[in-house]
């Protein structure tokens, strides 16, 4: 018997050695091509880039995987407890693989044989880190063995906290959310420190199978799984039974965070920043780099800019009449469901889509668009209202077929049942009313800038980003018309002319390449000999052409390029009337040079960019201040900021042109349209057939430019000038933007002389003489003692001006004459 036992023991020992050798050989073979687990040392997951306004408010986020990396020290113990309870309660005691959990899983899987159920796993958190970072998700024996081997090695190389940190920042939660911080924001719009027990448990339930526990598609499963996690937290001693029971009675409370822009009215600005970031660093850095971008946007000014521009566009559009409904639907059945399928302008929340239910001569009854529940289902409650005739009088002028307009006399002739339109609620004497609205076809842009730094404080690129993503502030190149004239006059003042220099305002002919160009003043007529001040105040085209001819267009082109208006300007006379195309951003930047005393600036939408570790990799401010880093005050002098920017215009010239443009506001083409109650300079601009309307102006510390026009340049109608359309928008915005601030005078450079001159002749005025103005002169200059008129010689001979570059003919053909 003993011999038999020994025999079987020997066979068993041999078999054991054979199996052990086979296992050793298999493990050795599997281990040969294992990935290097040391790559975990340099773990840099794709992280969300966040863009903030100057005030710190979150503007936008960009990510392929919505993730914010959190070090383990910043993750609350309750959050750790929820994931340990849900995934690996023995995490801090096992060596990488949990033998007890593995045995339990084997028993369960044997019991489930033939049931069709998916095999139960026993992966620890360490094993999941090995799989997620180093292996594929294949359901094979080889992969599981590799996973176990790597888990042992990872446990030997890294601390438990480091492994848990990797896990909590890498796992996928659904809704494109990765990592616990990204999941907390995505599902509950909270930081991890603000999560409740129920919210934490739900997030811990998701990694197992996010789609199976979708909060809206499978709410019952989601709650069941969440409650299971809460029970495990109670069982493991992380949560009291009372708190656990209370948490299980709470609803899921999920409110999925929307992507895109988070700050009201910032869409155009945020998109421009996105494009700049891609140009600067590439798409991968933007969508995976975890950059922190602090922009120059002032949220208050941005909202004011949007409001002012939208009001100006709507005012013009409504004067042209009603173009018909947005869409038509059947109102005989459930109109709410059909109306909910019509997409509104989501960035114009003041307006609501409505469908006409009935219409009489005096009243239109409408049904308001219902919202959608988080599940996507249309809300069942239906809201209605009425539009009174007086709230849609503007629509009595029908413009359904373009220029063939006709007037009607009742609301029923304007709208019919089934018409989908926009309405806006407003209050009148305590009564809630609805007024009819329509998205304007005309578009525009507004840019506001700090002239001393080039920081763009507000930028609106059109009526609505949802209507059109095209940014007319930076992407649309339009003719500035007479808004270009200040740079011609600045070039003149910088090269020997004075504000009192007299130029002939009279008909002129330019012959070029066989073509005759006859520029005209807006409205026709001419004023004869006039000072430069009068020429810019009244925006005289004929004077400007003569002045440009006298100086030479090469000099004008040099100055235009110096100001950044054009990269390379064609030096032909037609360009003197603003026929070259440029952008609102460039115009505002150029006017900022006039406003700041002639210093070159670089317009910027971004103040600072930091990488994922907080290191500053870009900042707009280039001025240096070595003494600013002092740690204590030791009676030293105040630090001095060293300004190394290029001086592109004489400060005295800058003041002279500013003073002349103050006259545009008080006496010229913007008089009665701009009244800020403080020193203000600016210039109107209108192109041929009123296709482009401009106003660019400034106070000492704020420059704003406004453009209005159709995207496909089309005449806007007689009288649609920069003074009539753009200047009121400028005025409304600036009044609101500067409210509560102290008026500041434009600074007069040291050495300038103020001399009383006759406004018409430009000569020094005698005591008691009427029509006198105080004019600024540089040292060594002053009013002329002899009455001299520039351009009088050509006019006296009656001969057309010839010897003009043949290139001028092209400018004539493209319609540069008669710009205003």
Positions marked catalytic: 87, 482
Contact indicator for 725, 316 with CB cutoff of 8 Å:
yes
Quickly list DSSP for 557-606: HHHHHHTTS-SS----GGGGGT-S-B-HHHHHHHHHHHHTTSB----BSE
With the C-alpha atoms ordered 113, 115, 118, 123, is the resulting torsion angle positive or negative? negative
d(CA 144, CA 106): 14
d(CA 801, CA 517): 10
Name the CA radius of gyration of the chain, rounded. 36
Tokens of 172: 């996928």
Cα distances (angstroms) measured from residue 537 to each of 341, 507, 663, 696: 53, 19, 6, 14
d(CA 185, CA 67): 9
Contact indicator for 695, 786 with CB cutoff of 8 Å:
no
d(CA 504, CA 521): 13
Helices (H) and strands (E) in the chain, counts: 23, 27
Element (H, E) at 641: none
Element (H, E) at 278: helix 267-281
Compute how many other C-beta atoms are within 10 angstroms of the C-beta atom of residue 794: 18
d(CA 612, CA 377): 39
Compute how many other C-beta atoms are within 10 angstroms of the C-beta atom of residue 288: 21
Contact indicator for 491, 556 with CB cutoff of 8 Å:
yes
Task: Give 664-667's long-range contacts (Cβ < 8 A, gap of 24+).
Answer: 664/536, 664/537, 664/539, 665/697, 667/537
d(CA 698, CA 659): 12
Nearest CA to 531 among 750, 755, 207?
755
In this structure, the strands spanning 351-359 and 606-610 are unpaired
The residues, any chain, with a CB within 8 Å of residue 523's CB and separated by 6 or more, are none
Nearest CA to 727 among 665, 679, 677?
665
Give the 3-state secondary structure of 698-746.
EECCEEEEEEEECCCCCCCCCCCCHHHHHHHHHHHHHHHHCCCCCCCCC
Please classify residue 373 by burial: count the beta carbons closer than 10 Å to its beta carbon, then call 0-12 exposed, 13-18 middle and 19+ buried.
exposed
d(CA 463, CA 472): 10
Residue whose tokens read 């018909």: 324
The residues, any chain, with a CB within 8 Å of residue 103's CB and separated by 6 or more, are none
Contact indicator for 728, 673 with CB cutoff of 8 Å:
yes
Contact indicator for 727, 708 with CB cutoff of 8 Å:
no
Tokens of 248: 């299980």
Main-chain phi, psi angles of 775, to 5 degrees: -115, 145
The residues, any chain, with a CB within 8 Å of residue 159's CB and separated by 6 or more, are none
Instruction: With H, G, I as helix, E, B as strand and everything else as coil, classify residue 103.
Output: helix
């Amino acid at each position: 018997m003993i011999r038999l036992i020994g025999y079987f023991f020997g066979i068993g020992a041999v078999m054991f050695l054979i199996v052990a050798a086979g296992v050793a050989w298999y493990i050795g073979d599997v281990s040969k091509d294992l990935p290097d687990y040391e790559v975990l040392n340099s773990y840099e997951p794709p992280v969300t880039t966040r863009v903030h306004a100057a005030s710190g408010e979150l503007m936008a986020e960009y990510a392929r995987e919505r993730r914010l990396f959190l070090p383990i020290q910043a993750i609350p113990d309750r959050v750790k407890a929820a994931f340990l309870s849900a995934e690996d309660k023995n995490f801090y005691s096992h060596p990488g693989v949990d033998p007890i959990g593995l045995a339990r899983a084997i028993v369960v899987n044997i019991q489930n044989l033939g049931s069709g159920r998916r095999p139960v796993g026993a992966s620890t958190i360490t094993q999941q880190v090995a799989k997620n970072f180093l292996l594929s998700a294949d359901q094979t024996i080889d992969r599981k063995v590799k996973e176990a081997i790597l888990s042992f090695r990872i446990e030997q190389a890294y601390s438990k906290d480091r492994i848990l940190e990797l896990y909590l920042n890498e796992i996928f939660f659904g809704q494109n959310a990765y990592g616990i911080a990204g999941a907390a924001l995505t599902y509950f719009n909270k930081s991890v420190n603000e999560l409740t027990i129920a919210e934490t448990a739900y997030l811990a339930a998701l990694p197992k199978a996010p789609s199976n526990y979708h909060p809206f598609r499978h709410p019952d499963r989601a709650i069941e799984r969440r409650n299971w996690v809460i029970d495990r937290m109670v069982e493991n001693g992380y949560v009291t039974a009372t708190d656990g029971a209370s948490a299980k009675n709470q609803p899921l409370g999920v409110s999925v965070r929307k992507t895109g822009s988070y700050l009201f009215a910032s869409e155009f600005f945020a998109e421009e920043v996105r494009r700049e970031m891609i140009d600067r660093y590439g798409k991968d850095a933007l969508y995976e780099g975890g950059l922190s971008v602090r922009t120059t946007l002032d949220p208050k000014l941005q909202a004011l800019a949007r409001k002012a521009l939208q009001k100006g566009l709507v005012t013009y559009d409504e004067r042209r009449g009603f173009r018909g409904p947005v869409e038509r639907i059947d109102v005989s059945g459930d109109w709410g469901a059909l109306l909910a399928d019509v997409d509104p302008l989501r960035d114009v929340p003041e307006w609501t889509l409505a469908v006409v239910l009935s219409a009489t001569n005096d009243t239109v009854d409408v049904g308001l668009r219902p919202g959608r529940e988080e599940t996507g289902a249309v809300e069942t409650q239906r809201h209605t209202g009425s539009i009174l005739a007086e709230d849609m009088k503007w629509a009595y002028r029908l413009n359904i077929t373009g220029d063939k307009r006709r007037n009607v006399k009742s609301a029923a002739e304007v709208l019919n049942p089934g018409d989908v339109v926009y309405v806006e609620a407003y209050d009148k004497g305590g009564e809630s009313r609805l007024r009819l609205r329509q998205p304007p076809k005309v578009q525009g842009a507004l840019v506001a800038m700090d002239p001393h730094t080039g920081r763009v404080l507000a930028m609106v690129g059109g009526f609505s980003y949802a209507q059109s993503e095209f940014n007319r502030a930076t992407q649309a190149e339009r003719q500035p018309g007479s808004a270009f004239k200040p740079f011609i006059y600045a070039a003149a003042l910088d090269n020997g002319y004075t504000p009192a220099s007299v130029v002939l305002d009279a008909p002129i002919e330019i012959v070029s390449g066989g073509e005759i160009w006859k520029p005209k003043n807006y409205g026709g007529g001419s004023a004869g000999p006039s000072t430069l001040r009068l020429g810019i105040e009244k925006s005289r085209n004929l004077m400007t052409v003569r002045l440009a001819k006298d100086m030479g267009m090469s000099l004008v082109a040099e100055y235009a390029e110096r100001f950044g208006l054009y990269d390379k300007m064609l030096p032909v006379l037609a360009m003197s009337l603003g026929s070259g195309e440029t952008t609102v951003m460039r115009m505002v930047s150029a006017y900022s040079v006039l406003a700041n005393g002639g210093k070159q600036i670089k317009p910027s939408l971004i103040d600072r960019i930091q990488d994922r570790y907080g290191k500053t990799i870009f900042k707009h401010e280039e001025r240096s201040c070595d003494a600013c880093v002092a740690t204590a005050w030791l009676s030293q002098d105040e630090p001095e900021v060293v300004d190394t920017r290029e001086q592109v215009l004489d400060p005295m010239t800058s003041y002279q042109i500013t003073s002349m443009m103050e006259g545009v506001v008080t006496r010229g083409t913007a008089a009665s349209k701009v009244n800020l109650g403080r020193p203000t300079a600016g210039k109107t601009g209108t192109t041929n057939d009123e296709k482009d309307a401009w106003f660019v102006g400034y106070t000492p510390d704020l420059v704003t430019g406004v453009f209005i026009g159709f995207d496909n340049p089309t005449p806007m109608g007689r009288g649609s000038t920069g003074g009539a359309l753009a200047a009121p928008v400028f005025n409304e915005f600036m009044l609101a933007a500067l409210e509560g601030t102290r008026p500041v005078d434009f600074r007069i450079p040291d050495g300038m002389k103020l001399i009383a001159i006759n406004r018409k002749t430009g000569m020094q005025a005698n005591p008691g003489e009427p029509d006198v103005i105080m004019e600024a002169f540089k040292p060594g200059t002053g009013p002329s003692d002899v009455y001299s008129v520039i351009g009088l010689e050509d006019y006296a001979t009656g001969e057309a001006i010839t010897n003009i570059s043949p290139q001028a003919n092209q400018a004539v053909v493209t319609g540069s004459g008669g710009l205003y």
